[in-house]
C-alpha cells in the first residue's frame, strides 16, 4: 500500500495573506485539524493548525489579521509514493498529527492524518485475515483456527511452517494480483528468493498460472494439467471471497511425480470417453457441469452452492425454484455430477415442451405394438433411461394433473408399467424437479397436486434473481466473454466503464440467460478490444440516458457529467442500503473518494 491509497485528497489550501477568520472558517467547514499553506505558485510553505489558532487567541489578536505571522513553516511532508512501512515508521517517530502529501515540485496533493493511518491498518488487518482463511482452505488436512487478533502473528508463523512442509508450490495473491504469501517449495520451483518475489505482480513471476482470471471470475478450478516453467504440473486455483468481494486468490501447483499421475489421468480420460459413448448410445445426456462452473461471489448463493453440494451426496428428491434463467438447470446437472450417481445417466425432460398426450409414453415408454405408429419393439421411457442416475424434471409446474398422479405413484412405489404393458418395471432413479412457478399457490387453486408438491419438496433450493446479486454481474461477464471469444474467434478483453455501469444497474428480468444473450449480441457487433455502449441492444442503451433538467440551462457538459456522477452514487447507495464500503467497491472508487463525493453532492 502506498501513501496515495491512504491520504485525504483535495484539501483546501491557505495563502499567507488569508485572514485568521478565513483560516478558522475553512478548518471548521472541512472538519480538519490542519491546513497546508502555499505560496503564489501553489508550492507548500507551511501548515496552519488548530494550535496556531489557539496561540493567536491567547495573544488577543483581531480575526481580520492575516495568518502570515501565525502559521508554522516547519511542516512534516510525505511523498505520494512512500510505501506504507516507511509512513508507519515516521508516524511513530513524530508527535505531529498531520503530514502534507506533496509531489516532487512541492505541490500539495492532500494531507495524511493518523486517523487515515489507523483506517489503513484496519484494512491491512482485514486482508491478512482473508489470506489466512484462504490458505487454510487450500490445505487438505491442516486445521487452523483464527481466534483472537493478538494470536495472529503466532498463527502466521505456524501457517508459514505448514505451508513450507507441503511439497506443492503454494502462492497467494491479493485483489491486485500481487503476491502476498509464497512457500519454500514455490520459491525453489521458480528458482527465486522469497524477498525477490513478494509484492510483485503474479505474472511477472509465474507465467501461465492464471490467478488473474480467478480474481476476475471468482471461479475455483481444481486439478488442471498445465505446463509451467516447461514442466507438466497439476494446478488448482481458488478465489478468496469475503462478504461478496473477491479479495485474493490461492494457487497450488503440484510439480513432482507428475509423470505417474499423468499416466493414470490418461487412462481415466480414455475410460471417460468410452463411458460417454455408451451413455450417448442409451440416449441420455452426459452431464458435465460441476459446482465449480457456477459463477457467484454472492454470499447467499455461495451458501446455496455448498448446501446443494452436500444434498447431492444423498438420495432425496430436490426441488429447485427461482425465476427463469437463474441457473436451475445448471444446479441440477451439478448436483448429479457431485452425487454418487455421477457414473449413471443424467436424463432431462422439459415437461412444458412435450405435448400432454405424449408425456406418458415419454416418461414410461411403451410396449411393442402399444398403439398405431408406435416404434417396433417398443421404446424405453425417460424413467427407464435414467435408471441408476438422475431424472431432471424441468418446468414441473406445467405437468398435467393426470400425469402428476402417475408420477406420484412411481415416486412412492419405485415401479411403473410402460404404456400398453402389464409388466411392472422397477427403477432406481433420483428426481430433481425445477420450476419458476409458485407450486404452493398452484396447489391452493387445484392446479397442482399438493401431495406431489410435498413429495417433491423434500429439499428445496430457491435461486436468487440476478438483480439481487448484482455483484455477480461482472464475474459472469468475464466468464461468458472468455467462452464467447473462443466460440466466435474474437479477442474482446472486457467491457468499458460505461457498459459496466449499465450492466450493473439493469434489472435483469431474464437473469443470467439474458446477460449471456446480451453479451453474445455485443461480441458479434464489437469492433474494438472492449465492449462499448453502442454494442449493447437498444433497450439497454436507452437506460444510459440519464434524465436531467439541465436542458433548460443549456447543454453544459460539466453539469451533465456531475449529475450523472451524483445519480450513479445515489443509486449505488440505495442498492447497498447505505453501505459506503460496498458502494465504493461497486463504483470502482476508493472509500475516501466516495466520502468526498457524498459531501460535495450533499448526499449525507
Ligand X SMILES: Nc1ncnc2c1ncn2[C@@H]1O[C@H](COP(=O)(O)OP(=O)(O)OP(=O)(O)O)[C@@H](O)[C@H]1O
Residues in the site for ligand X, rule: CB under 6 A?
Answer: 294-296, 322, 324-330, 394, 434, 436, 476, 512-513, 516
Which of 482, 479, 510 shows the shortest CA–CA distance to 292? Answer: 479
Cell numbers 498531520 correspond to what residue? 98
Each as own residue / partner, the long-range contacts of residues 260-267 (CB below 8 Å, 24 or more positions apart, any chain) are: 261/234, 262/225, 262/232, 265/225
- Answer for the pair 162, 145: CB distance below 8 angstroms, yes or no: no
How many CB atoms lie under 10 A from the CB of residue 76? Answer: 16
Q: In whole angstroms, how close is the CB of 297 to ligand X at the nearest point? A: 10
- State in Å, rounded, how far the first CA of the chain is from the last one: 29
Q: In whole angstroms, how close is the CB of 168 to ligand X at the nearest point? A: 28
- Answer for the pair 280, 225: CB distance below 8 angstroms, yes or no: no
Which of 320, 326, 259 shows the shortest CA–CA distance to 468? Answer: 326
Q: In whole angstroms, how close is the CB of 458 to ligand X at the nearest point? A: 19
SS3 371: coil
Q: φ, ψ for residue 471 (rounded to 5)? A: -65, -15
Reading the block at residue 446, the C-alpha cell is: 387445484
Residue closer to ligand X (CB basis): 237 or 387: 237
| Angle, CA of 425, 428 and 434, to the nearest 5° | 110
Residue closer to ligand X (CB basis): 240 or 512: 512
Q: In whole angstroms, how close is the CB of 252 to ligand X at the nearest point? A: 23
3-state secondary structure 521-569: HHHHHCCCCEECHHHCCHHHHHHHCCCCCCCCCCCCHHHHHHHHHHHHH
Reading the block at residue 592, the C-alpha cell is: 475516501
Reading the block at residue 528, the C-alpha cell is: 474494438
Residue closer to ligand X (CB basis): 496 or 517: 517
CA distance 160 to 195: 14
Residue closer to ligand X (CB basis): 201 or 537: 537
Q: In whole angstroms, how close is the CB of 432 to ligand X at the nearest point? A: 11
Residue closer to ligand X (CB basis): 17 or 462: 462
Which of 499, 558, 508, 572 shows the shortest CA–CA distance to 533? Answer: 499
- Answer for the pair 79, 102: CB distance below 8 angstroms, yes or no: yes
Q: In whole angstroms, how close is the CB of 521 to ligand X at the nearest point? A: 15
Residue nearest to ligand X (CB): 327
Residue closer to ligand X (CB basis): 394 or 582: 394
CA distances from 528 to 431, 490, 515, 533 (A): 46, 10, 20, 12
CA distance 352 to 39: 77
* Overall residue count recorded for the chain in this entry: 604
Residue closer to ligand X (CB basis): 328 or 506: 328
Residue closer to ligand X (CB basis): 185 or 351: 351
Residue closer to ligand X (CB basis): 178 or 513: 513
- Answer for the pair 183, 169: CB distance below 8 angstroms, yes or no: yes
Q: φ, ψ for residue 142 (rounded to 5)? A: -75, 145
**How would DSSP label each residue in 418-437?**
-BT----EE---EEEEEESS
Q: In whole angstroms, how close is the CB of 322 to ligand X at the nearest point? A: 6
Q: In whole angstroms, how close is the CB of 571 to ligand X at the nearest point? A: 24
Which of 467, 450, 198, 216 shows the shortest CA–CA distance to 325? Answer: 467
Residue closer to ligand X (CB basis): 236 or 436: 436
Q: In whole angstroms, how close is the CB of 302 to ligand X at the nearest point? A: 10
Q: How distant is the alpha carbon of residue 450 from its chain centre?
A: 38
What pairing do the DSSP bridges indicate for beta strands 245-254 and 231-242?
Answer: antiparallel
Q: In whole angstroms, how close is the CB of 39 to ligand X at the nearest point? A: 58
Q: In whole angstroms, how close is the CB of 371 to ligand X at the nearest point? A: 31
Residue closer to ligand X (CB basis): 262 or 468: 468
3-state secondary structure 276-307: HHHHHHCCCECCCCCHHHCCCCCHHHHHHHHH
Residue closer to ligand X (CB basis): 130 or 329: 329
Q: In whole angstroms, how close is the CB of 473 to ligand X at the nearest point? A: 11
CA distance 174 to 199: 9
Residue closer to ligand X (CB basis): 186 or 319: 319
Q: In whole angstroms, how close is the CB of 411 to ligand X at the nearest point? A: 21
Q: In whole angstroms, how close is the CB of 294 to ligand X at the nearest point? A: 4
Residue closer to ligand X (CB basis): 461 or 505: 461
Amino acid at each position: 500500500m502506498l501513501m496515495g491509497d491512504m491520504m485525504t485528497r483535495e484539501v483546501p489550501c491557505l495563502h499567507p495573506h488569508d485572514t485568521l477568520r478565513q483560516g478558522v472558517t475553512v478548518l471548521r467547514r472541512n472538519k480538519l485539524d490542519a491546513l497546508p499553506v502555499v505560496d503564489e505558485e501553489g508550492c507548500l510553505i507551511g501548515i496552519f493548525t488548530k494550535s496556531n489558532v489557539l496561540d493567536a487567541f491567547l495573544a488577543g489578536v483581531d480575526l481580520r489579521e492575516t495568518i502570515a505571522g501565525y502559521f508554522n513553516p516547519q511542516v512534516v511532508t510525505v511523498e505520494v509514493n512512500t510505501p506504507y512501512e516507511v509512513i508507519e515508521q515516521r508516524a511513530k517517530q513524530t508527535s505531529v498529527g498531520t503530514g502534507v502529501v506533496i509531489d516532487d515540485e512541492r505541490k500539495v496533493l492532500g494531507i495524511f492524518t493518523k486517523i487515515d493511518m489507523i483506517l489503513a491498518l484496519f484494512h491491512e488487518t482485514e486482508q491478512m485475515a482473508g489470506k489466512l482463511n484462504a490458505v487454510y482452505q487450500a490445505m487438505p488436512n491442516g486445521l487452523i483456527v483464527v481466534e483472537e487478533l493478538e494470536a495472529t502473528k503466532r498463527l502466521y508463523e505456524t501457517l508459514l511452517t505448514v505451508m513450507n512442509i507441503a511439497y506443492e508450490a503454494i502462492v497467494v495473491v491479493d485483489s491486485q494480483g500481487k503476491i502476498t504469501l509464497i512457500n519454500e517449495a514455490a520459491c525453489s520451483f521458480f528458482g527465486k528468493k522469497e524477498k525477490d518475489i513478494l509484492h510483485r505482480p503474479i505474472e511477472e513471476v509465474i507465467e501461465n498460472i492464471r490467478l488473474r482470471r480467478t480474481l476476475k471470475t471468482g471461479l475455483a478450478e481444481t486439478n488442471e494439467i498445465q505446463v509451467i516453467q516447461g514442466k507438466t504440473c497439476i494446478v488448482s486455483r481458488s478465489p478468496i471471497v469475503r462478504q461478496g468481494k473477491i479479495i485474493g486468490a490461492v494457487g497450488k501447483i503440484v510439480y513432482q511425480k507428475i509423470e505417474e499421475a499423468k499416466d493414470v489421468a490418461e487412462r481415466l480420460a480414455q475410460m471417460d470417453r468410452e463411458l460417454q459413448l455408451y451413455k450417448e448410445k442409451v440416449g441420455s445426456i452426459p452431464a458435465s457441469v460441476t459446482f465449480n462452473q457456477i459463477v457467484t461471489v454472492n454470499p447467499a448463493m455461495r451458501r446455496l452452492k455448498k448446501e446443494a453440494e452436500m444434498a447431492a451426496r444423498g438420495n432425496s428428491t430436490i426441488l429447485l425454484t427461482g425465476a427463469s434463467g437463474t441457473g436451475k438447470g445448471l444446479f441440477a446437472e451439478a448436483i448429479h455430477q457431485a452425487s454418487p450417481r455421477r457414473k449413471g445417466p443424467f436424463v432431462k425432460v422439459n415437461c412444458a415442451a412435450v405435448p400432454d398426450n405424449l408425456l406418458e409414453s415419454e416418461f414410461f415408454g411403451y410396449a411393442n405394438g402399444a398403439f398405431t405408429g408406435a416404434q417396433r419393439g417398443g421404446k424405453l421411457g425417460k424413467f427407464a433411461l435414467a435408471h441408476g442416475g438422475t431424472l431432471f424434471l424441468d418446468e414441473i409446474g406445467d405437468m398435467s394433473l393426470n400425469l402428476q398422479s402417475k408420477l406420484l405413484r412411481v415416486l412412492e412405489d419405485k415401479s411403473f408399467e410402460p404404456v400398453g404393458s402389464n409388466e411392472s418395471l422397477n427403477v432406481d432413479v433420483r428426481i430433481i424437479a425445477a420450476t419458476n412457478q409458485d407450486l404452493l399457490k398452484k396447489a391452493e387453486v387445484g392446479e397442482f397436486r399438493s401431495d406431489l408438491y410435498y413429495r417433491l419438496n423434500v429439499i428445496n433450493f430457491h435461486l436468487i434473481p440476478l438483480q439481487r446479486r448484482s455483484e455477480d454481474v461482472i464475474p459472469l461477464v468475464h466468464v461468458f466473454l472468455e467462452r464467447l471469444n473462443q466460440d466466435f474467434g474474437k479477442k474482446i478483453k472486457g467491457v468499458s466503464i460505461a457498459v459496466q455501469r449499465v450492466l450493473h444497474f439493469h434489472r435483469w428480468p431474464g437473469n443470467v440467460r439474458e446477460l449471456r444473450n446480451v453479451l453474445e449480441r455485443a461480441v458479434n457487433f464489437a469492433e474494438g478490444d472492449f465492449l462499448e455502449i453502442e454494442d449493447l441492444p437498444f433497450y439497454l442503451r436507452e437506460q444510459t440516458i440519464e434524465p436531467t433538467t439541465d436542458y433548460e440551462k443549456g447543454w453544459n457538459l460539466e453539469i451533465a457529467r456531475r449529475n450523472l456522477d451524483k445519480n450513479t452514487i445515489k443509486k449505488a447507495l440505495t442498492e447497498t442500503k447505505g453501505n459506503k464500503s460496498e458502494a465504493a467497491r461497486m463504483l470502482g472508487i476508493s472509500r475516501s473518494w466516495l466520502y468526498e463525493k457524498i459531501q460535495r453532492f450533499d448526499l449525507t
